[in-house]
C-alpha cells in the first residue's frame, strides 16, 4: 500500500512554518509565562492578543449573525446559499477567540470563573457570557450539517424546529457584545487618545462589525471558490456589499459628528504618530471602501469586489489595533511593539482557522450544488466584466 505524500506548495510551506513557530511559542507561553513570550508590562497589559485575536476576531466573525438575520428575520431567502459557510466562519472565529484568550490570561485555568463568580456590573462579565452563549448558539446552528453527514434525522428535525429562536438569540447576543467591546474603552477616557475616545464607541464598534461581517463572507467565498474550484456567487455578494457600504456610511457620519462635537481638529491635523494612524484608518478603511463599493461595476467584478472588501477588513483591523494599542500608547509612554512570539501565536490562530475551515468544508455539505454563475448574472441583468476592464474604463 502506497502512502500518498501531500504536494508541498508555497502556501502549504508557509502554513507549516507558522504552525511550527506557533507550537514553539505556545510551549514557551505555558511553561515560562507571559513575560517570556510578550513585551507586555504592568503599564501596558493588553497588546496584540487582545487587540487582534479578541477585538478583531469577534468583529470578523460578525458575518454569521448578519447573514442569519437577513435570511430568517428579514426573509431574504437569496442569501441562504451562503449562510452555512458564514455560520462556519463565525463558529470557528469564536472558538479561536476563546483559545486565544487562554494565551493572554495570566491564569488561563480560571477562564471558567465568570460562570459562577457573577459580576453583572462589569462589561467584561457581559462580554464573557455573550461570547459563551453565542458560541453555543453557533454550534447548534451548525450542527444540522454534521447530523446530515451522519444521516441523523431526528436531532436534525429538533434543531430545525429551533432555528428561529436560535437566530433571534444570536442577533441579540451579537448586538450586545459587539457594542460592549466598545463600551470597554469608555471606562478609560483619561487614558485613551482623544481621536479615538467617543461616547459613540459602542455604536461605532457595532456598525463596523456589521460592515466587516459581509466583507469577511465575501473574502471567504472568494478564497473557497479558488480552493474548491467553485464559481463565486457574485450576484449575491454584490448585493451584500451594499450592506457594508451603508454601514460604513453611517459610521462615517458618526465619526465626523465626533470630530465636530469633541473639537478634534487640532489633534487630527497635527503631524504626529496618532494623527497619521488615524488618517490611514479613516481614508483607507472607511472612505476608500465606500467609494469602491458604491461603484456597481466593481461590485459585479469578482476581483474588484474581493479587493474592495479586503480593504474594508484591513481598515477594520487597523481601527481595532488603533483603539486598543495606538490610543493607549501616548498615555502610558510604553512604546509597545509585540514580540515575535506574540506575532507567531496570532498567525498560528489565523492559520488554524483557515485549515479547520478547509477541512470541514471538504467533508461536510456546506456549499450548495453549483449553478452557472454567469447565467445567474446575465438573467438578473448584471454585466460580466473583468477587473482590468473596470480600471481601464476609470482611467
What's the average model confidence in pLDDT over 250-265? 95
> With bands split at pLDDT 50, 70 and 90, how would you rate the model's confidence at 311?
very high
Neighbouring residues of 317: CB distance < 8 A, sequence distance ≥ 6: 52, 56
Query: Grid coordinates standing for 99?
Result: 483559545
Cα atoms in the 13 Å half-sphere on the side-chain side of 322: 24
Residue 366: the pLDDT is 86
| Residue 152 reports pLDDT greater than 60 | yes
Share of the chain above pLDDT 70, in %: 92
Looking at residue 48, its pLDDT comes to: 95
| Most confident of the ranges 122-131, 220-229, 265-274 | 265-274
The yes-or-no verdict on residue 387 having pLDDT over 60 is no
Which pLDDT does position 195 carry in this prediction?
95
Instruction: Indicate if the pLDDT at residue 288 is higher than 60.
Output: yes
For residue 258 the three cell numbers come to 465626533
pLDDT at 370: 63
3-state secondary structure the chain: CCCCCCCCCHHHHHHHHHHHHHHHHHHHHHHHCHHHHCCCCCCCCCCHHHHHHHHHHHHHCCHHHHHHHHHHHCCCHHHHHHHHHHHHHHHHHHHHHHHHHHHHCCCHHHCCHHHHCCCCCCHHHHHHHHHHHHHHHHHHHHHHHHHHHCCCHHHHHHHHHCHHHHHHHHHHHHHHHHHHHHHHHHHCCCCCCCCCCCCCHHHHHHHHHHHHHHHHHHHHHHHHHHHCCCCCCHHHHHHHHHHHHHHHHHHHHHHHHHHHHCCCHHHHCCCCHHHHHHHHHHHHHHHHHHHHHCCHHHHCCHHHHHHHHHHHHHHHHHHHHHHHHHHHHHHHCCCCCCCHHHHHHHHHHHHHHHHHHHHHHHHCCCCCCCCCHHHHHHHCCCCCCCHHHHHHHHC
Q: Which of 56, 96, 93, 59 is nearest to 244 (CA)?
A: 59
* Confidence band for 233, pLDDT divided at 50, 70 and 90: confident
- pLDDT for residue 222: 92
Q: Read off the pLDDT band of 388 (50, 70, 90).
A: low
pTM of the predicted model, to two decimals? 0.88
Q: What is the pLDDT of residue 121?
A: 85
Average pLDDT, whole number, for the chain? Answer: 89
Assess whether pLDDT exceeds 90 at residue 210. Answer: yes
> What pLDDT sits at residue 377?
55
pLDDT band at 9 (very low <50, low <70, confident <90, very high): confident
Please give the Cα distance from 223 to 231 (Å, whole number). 11
Name the CA dihedral angle for 105, 107, 110, 111, rounded to a multiple of 10 degrees. 20
The pLDDT, as a whole number, for residue 332 is 87
- Of 333, 322, 316, nearest to 276 by C-alpha is 322
Give the span between the Cα atoms of 165 and 174, in whole angstroms.
Answer: 14
Residue 395 has pLDDT above 60, yes or no: no
pLDDT in tens, 43-89: 899 999 999 999 999 999 998 989 999 999 888 888 988 999 999 99
Residue 365: what pLDDT?
85
Amino acid at each position: 500500500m502506497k502512502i500518498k505524500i501531500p504536494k508541498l506548495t508555497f502556501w502549504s510551506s508557509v502554513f507549516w512554518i507558522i504552525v511550527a513557530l506557533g507550537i514553539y511559542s505556545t510551549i514557551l507561553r505555558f511553561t515560562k509565562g507571559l513575560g517570556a513570550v510578550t513585551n507586555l508590562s504592568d503599564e501596558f497589559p493588553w497588546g496584540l492578543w487582545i487587540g487582534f485575536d479578541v477585538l478583531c476576531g469577534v468583529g470578523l466573525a460578525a458575518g454569521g449573525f448578519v447573514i442569519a438575520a437577513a435570511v430568517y428575520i428579514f426573509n431574504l431567502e437569496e442569501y441562504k446559499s451562503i449562510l452555512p459557510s458564514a455560520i462556519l466562519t463565525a463558529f470557528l472565529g469564536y472558538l479561536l477567540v476563546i483559545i486565544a484568550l487562554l494565551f493572554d490570561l495570566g491564569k488561563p485555568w480560571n477562564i471558567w470563573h465568570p460562570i459562577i463568580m457573577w459580576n453583572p456590573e462589569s462589561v467584561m462579565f457581559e462580554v464573557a457570557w455573550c461570547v459563551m452563549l453565542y458560541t453555543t448558539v453557533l454550534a447548534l446552528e451548525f450542527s444540522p450539517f454534521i447530523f446530515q453527514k451522519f444521516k441523523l434525522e431526528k436531532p436534525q428535525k429538533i434543531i430545525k424546529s429551533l432555528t428561529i429562536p436560535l437566530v433571534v438569540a444570536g442577533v441579540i447576543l451579537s448586538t450586545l457584545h459587539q457594542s460592549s467591546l466598545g463600551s470597554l474603552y469608555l471606562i478609560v477616557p483619561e487614558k485613551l487618545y482623544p481621536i479615538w475616545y467617543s461616547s459613540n464607541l459602542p455604536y461605532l464598534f457595532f456598525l463596523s462589525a456589521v460592515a466587516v461581517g459581509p466583507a469577511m463572507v465575501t473574502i471567504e467565498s472568494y478564497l473557497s471558490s479558488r480552493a474548491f474550484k467553485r464559481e463565486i456567487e457574485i450576484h449575491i455578494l454584490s448585493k451584500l456589499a451594499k450592506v457594508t457600504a451603508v454601514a460604513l456610511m453611517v459610521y462615517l457620519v458618526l465619526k465626523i459628528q465626533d470630530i465636530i462635537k469633541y473639537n478634534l481638529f487640532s489633534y487630527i491635523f497635527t503631524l504626529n504618530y496618532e494623527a497619521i494612524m488615524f488618517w490611514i484608518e479613516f481614508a483607507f478603511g472607511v472612505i476608500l471602501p465606500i467609494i469602491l463599493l458604491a461603484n456597481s461595476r466593481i461590485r459585479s467584478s469578482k476581483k474588484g469586489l474581493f479587493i474592495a472588501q479586503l480593504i474594508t477588513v484591513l481598515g477594520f483591523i487597523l481601527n481595532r489595533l488603533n483603539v486598543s494599542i495606538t490610543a493607549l500608547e501616548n498615555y502610558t509612554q510604553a512604546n509597545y511593539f509585540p514580540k515575535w512570539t506574540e506575532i507567531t501565536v496570532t498567525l498560528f490562530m489565523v492559520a488554524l482557522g483557515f485549515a479547520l475551515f478547509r477541512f470541514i468544508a471538504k467533508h461536510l455539505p456546506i456549499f450548495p450544488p453549483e449553478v452557472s454563475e454567469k447565467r445567474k448574472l446575465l438573467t438578473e441583468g448584471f454585466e460580466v466584466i473583468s477587473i482590468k476592464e473596470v480600471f481601464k474604463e476609470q482611467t
